[in-house]
Amino acid sequence: MKRAGESRIRGAFFIPRSGLVGIDEIDDDHQSVVDALEEVRVHLEDKAYSHVPKTREIVQTLLSHFRREEDLMRSADYPHTEAHCMHHDQTLGHIYRIVGNAELSEKVTLGDLRDLYRTLLDDIFSADLNFQNYLFATNRLRG
């Protein structure tokens, strides 16, 4: 039996304001990943929904986001670009494990979606926001 407010308790994925980087291309990418995670989450009980292919699409979106972010960092001469690329590669290893397991078991769980969400937030808070600091420090971004 569902308790009142349960769907609210079990969701929802979003980017907190403190996780906004301030660069439209980056923030839009993060938002589209979160929107896609949320789309799968709200369909978890829907048997007709293609959870595994949709989750694989999220991985592709993340992959192109990482490449776009790395290009932006290089073009801004960000001194920690290579370290950030390594962080992305480690993140991808984790992400591919999650989607690989989903493909093997032919199902996606709320836990899988939370894992993907956590990896995105981890990249934002432990890496992307350092790029924002650099842009502020070099007067290329204003608060």
Tokens 């403190």, located at residue: 18
Residue from 28, 15, 52, 23 nearest 133 by CA = 23
Residue 123 lies near Fe ion (rule: CB under 5 A)? yes
Kindly state the smallest distance separating residue 98's Cβ from Fe ion, in Å: 17
Piece of the chain touching Fe ion by CB under 5 A; list 33-41, 42-50, 104-112, 116-124: 116-124
Kindly state the smallest distance separating residue 46's Cβ from Fe ion, in Å: 29
70 near 82, Cβ under 8 Å?
no
Among 36, 58, 102, 128, binds Fe ion (CB under 5 A): 128
Residue 119 lies near Fe ion (rule: CB under 5 A)? no
Piece of the chain touching Fe ion by CB under 5 A; list 43-51, 97-105, 120-128, 132-140: 120-128
CB-nearer residue toward Fe ion: 14 or 53: 14
Residue 62 lies near Fe ion (rule: CB under 5 A)? no
Q: What is the DSSP string of 74-132?
A: HHTT-TTHHHHHHHHHHHHHHHHHHHHHHHHHT---HHHHHHHHHHHHHHIIIIIHHHH
CB-nearer residue toward Fe ion: 39 or 122: 122
Tell me the three state secondary structure of residue 40. helix
CB-nearer residue toward Fe ion: 44 or 85: 85
Residue from 141, 143, 122 nearest 30 by CA = 122
Residues near Fe ion, by CB under 5 A: 69, 123, 127-128
